Amino acid sequence: MTVFTVAASADDVRRFTGPDTFDTSSTFFMVGQTGGKIYNVAARFTNLTIAPGSKILTAVPSLVCAFASAGVTVRATLALEAVANATQIADVADFDGRSLTAAVTWEPAAWVLGTTYALPDIAVPLQAVMDLPAWAYGNAINWFLKDGGSDGGAARYGASWDNATYDPPVLTVTWNPPGGGGPVTQAFAAGII
């Protein structure tokens, strides 16, 4: 298994309301509503070594819990930016202005500190991005994890690229390359964009 990592903290961001704020150095990759704020994040995975014409079988993001949380319902959505080679996100307007693929919903149970959690499979959104005519081997994707109407006080806190204790978000993808050769599996590590 090969792991690709984010090259800089600038590939590690979160966006929250109350007031609108954009942050590239948070240690949390968090989603939900807490403290009167709504939290959304995105992770940029660079150098996806998947050839055009590949068939995505599974694409499962995972997060390590950096702060235990339970008791209320988190509702979130996972989507990818609908572009063949994603760039870094620069600010609130840029975060909000990105066009996204169809989303996958997620309602996680309670989280235990230091435990790694697999999120829902995003193979369909990833295939949609890789089917774009401009997709090329080594391109980057932006994965968005957004609040989808969580209860007040409900959030899940994964570790970001800037977290010194736990690993950043990881995307593990299994695909069939064009022309056969059987399934290939790789894990791509990221920070929050």
Per-residue pLDDT, 120? 97
Q: Mind listing the pLDDT tens digit for each residue in 113-129?
A: 999 999 999 999 999 99
Q: For the whole prediction, is pTM greater than 0.85?
A: yes
How many structural domains is the chain composed of? 1
Q: Mind listing the pLDDT tens digit for each residue in 175-184?
A: 999 988 788 8
**Per-residue pLDDT band at 68 (split at 50, 70, 90):** very high
Q: Is 163 exposed, middle or buried (0-12, 13-18, 19+ CB in 10 A)?
A: buried
Per-residue pLDDT, 71? 80
Per-residue pLDDT, 1? 36
Task: Using the predicted structure, report yes or no on whether residue 193 has a pLDDT greater than 50.
Answer: no
126 token code pair:
């990833």
The predicted model gives 137-157 an average pLDDT of 96
Cβ-contact 154, 33 below 8 angstroms? yes
Q: Mind listing the pLDDT tens digit for each residue in 76-103?
A: 999 999 999 999 999 999 999 999 999 9
Distance from the Cα of residue 59 to its chain's centroid: 11
Q: Residue 190: which of 145, 147, 157, 143 has the closest Cα?
A: 143
Domain range for 162: 3-192
Per-residue pLDDT, 2? 40
